[in-house]
Amino acid sequence: MVSTQTWERRPLFRNEGWARLLVDVLYHYRGSAYLLHEFVTMPDHIHVLLTPTTSLEKAVQFIKGGFSYRAKKELGSSMEVWQKGFSDHRIRDAEDFLHHVAYVRENPVRKHLCERPRDYQFSSAWANVELDPVPQGLKPVLQEARYGAPEGAPLQNRKPNGAAEAAFLQNKKPSGAAGVAPFQGKADQKNPDQDKPGKIAS
């Protein structure tokens, strides 16, 4: 579970264009830098439940640096987007996984951005997104202890025919957007004071 904030907690992602671009960036690096299990884009921060396929620091760098690069190129913004660093929590077991899934999905409701999780289109609770499967070691507990359903189905919203991205992400990308280079600046430095086991950033 990774959480990171905007610079000075500015509500940049209250702007729909910014929020859409961030979700597009999350899907752009899905599969190459991480598996994507859950996410929510809040006005001034994001939470992402992922399994890195590279180092965690590089996975977060792709998200933050990739968004900053595209915001400059596609939104014409030169402002600072992110606070330095990020906080993370390693998922311990199936119960911990479910706790964080619920936290991510309920975050917009708690902040009065919507009435129900599935009404918030900039999160994994929205009906038209595809997510990577529940990590293999957690599936048996999720299936039998909590849901009694195969493959962790209540946590996975899948589109027909295996489409890889949310419907609202399938608009044509601006010229050259598909070949965006990864961020070339310094990798974010993790702040050890932010990593509190079991604690979730708001």
Mean pLDDT value of segment 70-86: 94
Residue 120's pLDDT is 94
> Which position has the higher pLDDT, 30 or 187?
30
% the chain with pLDDT above 90: 61
pLDDT of residue 115: 94
SS3 letters across 54-65: CCHHHHHHHHHH
Burial 65-81 (b: 16+ CB within 10 A, else e): bbbbbbbeebeeeeeeb
Which residues have CB under 8 Å from 189's CB, separation 6+?
A: 84, 85
Q: Name which of 9-23, 70-84, 158-172 the model is least confident about.
A: 158-172
**pLDDT higher than threshold 90 for residue 134:** no
Across all residues in the chain, what is the average pLDDT?
77
Angle between helices 16-28 and 56-74 (to 10 degrees): 140
| pLDDT given for residue 139 in this prediction | 64
pTM value > 0.85? no
pLDDT at 54: 93
Residues with Cβ within 8 Å of residue 159, at least 6 apart in sequence: 128, 129, 130, 167
Confidence grade of residue 141 (pLDDT, cut at 50, 70, 90): low
| Chosen CATH of 2-173 out of 3.40.640.10, 3.30.2130.10, 3.30.70.1290, 1.10.760.10 | 3.30.70.1290
Tell me the per-residue pLDDT of 7-52, one tens digit each, with 9 for 90 and over. 999 999 999 999 999 999 999 999 999 999 999 999 999 999 999 9
Q: Of 58, 72, 71, whose CA–CA distance to 29 is shortest?
A: 58
